[in-house]
Amino acid sequence: MSVSSVTEILNAKSADTLVTEQLAVMAAANPPLPVTAYQPGSAALTLIEAECESLADVHTTVGELCASAFLGEAKGDWLTLRAKSTFDTDRILATYTVGSVTLACSALAGPETITPGALVISTPSGLLYRSTNTTSITVASGGTASIPMRAEGSGTDYNVSLSGATIVTPAAAGLSVSAASGVSWITSTARNEEGDDELVTRCRARWATLATAGCGTRDAYIFNLLGALRTDGTSAGVTRVGFLSPPGDGTVPIRIAGATGLLSDADRDYVRTWIATRKPITDTPSIQHAGTAAIDLSTTTVTFKAGFNTSGNRAMVRAAVRAFVDAQPMGNDLVVGMIDQEAIAAEIYRAASGLLADVDMGCGDTTVAEGYVATVDETALVFA
């Protein structure tokens, strides 16, 4: 018999299934127990249900423990443990969005002094950011001052514009956030915690790095690129890797990108340093930013049903388009990718289910060539 999953051998039973089975055994006993007389809430039935709830927890735990023995079956914390114990590979943790904003003080107020870590600002959607200044910063009356910020939470949800952000603390009249447009305020974008599928991919690629003669393979480079760290021990942000055709002189042309587009030059340089100490002595890796293939949404119109063309719904559609494009892999020399316009439309319909009247796509399909990632300006969408 061919077996492809732990659940084909060991299927954890639910509490309800265990209660049914136990009552059946009791009814078949000699002499039989009067299980049909047990009423809901009775002492006998309550004891049986309590016992089966505990037994169901044991079934679940045993199933998870068995699955953890197999890389393709382990999930969550079990996979984290499996990756560390077998592959000496840690799950990459989520990082925090870091940047700086400009505070402005009206001429009729201030001066205002921001003590270390005292400034907290909030986006219209409720995302919080705290200042990381280590010394007090004073904003003069009628003046401005730049102040460093870090997101209070981790992950890519915080890589957003601070347009419309308000000050939570301190309560200072006349003080406001003068944020740059878009996400230009960010100096270091955040990434999400590495998902199960990503961690499994790195674990499988790990074997190539353990062989002395195999450390120049693509799998070896992918493993090291995806795990590249900054000098402070946080992820450099590489989530997508592409290889151009090698010229045959020992040069390895590599293209990299992150979960939300291109990395910063600083993070690219961290990656270069990381790889330089892990490459074969005969290789000369050339690590560059990926190219970009822009999706033009300026001729795409999203029409809401009457009463649903609100700022919140428009933001939801934009976010869905951005998330879909950012999730696409890099084009490579094996499979040239393509962002299908109908796939974008499907994401829009999925995000605003029941709210839309029509999506008129005018962008056409976008080819994502070798070493390129798709990019999109979701603010170009037209709403009606």
Is residue 163 a part of any domain in this protein?
A: yes
Of 156, 188, 220, the residue at which a domain comes to its end is 188
| Domain identity same for 301 and 378 | yes
Indicate whether 223 belongs to any domain. Answer: yes
**Do both 284 and 311 map to the same domain?**
no
Q: For residue 85, is it within any domain? A: no
Q: Are 9 and 15 contacting, i.e. CB atoms less than 8 angstroms apart?
A: no
Q: What are phi and psi of 308, to 5 degrees?
A: -110, 0
The whole-number pLDDT of residue 289 equals: 97
Domain boundary among 289, 314, 343: 289
pLDDT of residue 214: 41
Q: Is residue 155 part of a domain?
A: yes
pLDDT, residue 35, reads 86
The pLDDT value given to residue 245: 82
Query: In this structure, are 234 and 253 located in the same domain?
Result: yes
Task: Find all residues with CB under 8 Å of 38, minimum gap 6, and list them.
Answer: 23, 44, 45, 48
- Residue 192 is predicted with a pLDDT of 93
Residues 297 and 272 in one domain: no
Amino acid identity, position 307: G
Question: What confidence tens digit (pLDDT) does each residue in 187-201 have?
Answer: 999 999 999 999 999
Last residue of a domain, one of 266, 289, 312: 289
Which pLDDT does position 87 carry in this prediction? Answer: 86
pLDDT under 50: residue ranges of the chain = 212-215
Residue 231 CB neighbour total at 10 angstroms = 9
Residue corresponding to tokens 């709830």: 53
Place of tokens 């949404």: 297
Does residue 74 fall inside a structural domain?
no
339 and 370 inside one domain: yes
Our count of domains for the chain comes to 4
Quote the pLDDT of residue 4.
65
Range of the domain at 182: 98-188
pLDDT of residue 194: 93
Q: What is the pLDDT of residue 102?
A: 93
Domain for residue 322, yes or no?
yes
> Looking at the domain assignment, is residue 200 inside a domain?
yes
Token pair for 230: 């900054």
Examine the domain organization and report whether 36 and 51 are in the same domain.
yes
Q: Model confidence over 248-275: pLDDT tens digits?
A: 777 889 999 999 889 999 999 999 999 9
